[in-house]
Structure 1
C-alpha cells in the first residue's frame, strides 16, 4: 500500500515539473505526470523486489527522485522532437 504514496507524490511533483519545464504548449498537460507516475511505479517495484525495505529512505529517494529525473528527460526529448518536426513542416510548407 505504500506504493500509492510514492505514486501520488510522483504524480503531484510531475504536475509541478510540467509547469517548470519550457515548451508547455507543445505537449499535453498529462504527459509529464504520467511518465513520472509510471517511472515511480517501476522503480519502486524493482527496488522492493531487490530487497530494499519500505522503511528505507533510499526506496523513496530513488523511486520519486528517479521518476522525476526520467520524466524531465523524457519531456525535454518530446519537446525537442516536436520543435524540430514543427520547424521541418514550416520549412516544407514555406511558412
Structure 2
C-alpha cells in the first residue's frame, strides 16, 4: 500500500514540474507526470526488492529524487528536440 503514497506524490511532483519547466506547449500534459510515476514505481519496487523497508527514509528520498531527475531530463530533452524540429520544419516550409 505504501507504493501508492510514492506514486501519488511522484504524480504531484510531475504535475508541478510540468508547469515549471519550459516548452510546455510543445509536449503533452501527461508526459512529465507519467515519467515521474513510472520512474517512482520502478525505483520503489527495486529498492523494496533490495530489502529497504518502508520505514527507511532513504527509500523515499531515492524514489522521489529518481522521479524528479528522470522527469526533468525527459521533459527538457523532449521540449528542446520538439522546438528544434518545429523551427527546422518552419524553415523548410518557408513559413518562419
Tell me the TM-score normalized by structure 1.
0.97
1:87 aligns with 2:87: yes
In the TM superposition, 1:58-69 aligns within 5 A as 58-69=58-69
- Tell me how far apart the structure 1 counterparts of residues 18 and 51 of structure 2 sit (CA, whole Å): 32
**Unpaired runs of 5+ in structure 1?**
none
- Tell me how far apart the structure 2 counterparts of residues 64 and 7 of structure 1 sit (CA, whole Å): 9
**Unpaired runs of 5+ in structure 2?**
none
Aligned length in residues:
95
Runs of 4 or more above 3 Å deviation:
none
In the TM superposition, 1:36-55 aligns within 5 A as 36-55=36-55
Deviation at 1:94, TM superposition (A): 1.0
- Tell me how far apart the structure 2 counterparts of residues 68 and 60 of structure 1 sit (CA, whole Å): 12
Alpha-carbon RMSD across the aligned residues, in angstroms, is: 0.7
User: Could you say what secondary structure the match of 2:51 adopts?
Assistant: coil
User: Could you say what secondary structure the match of 1:22 adopts?
Assistant: coil
1:30 aligns with 2:30: yes
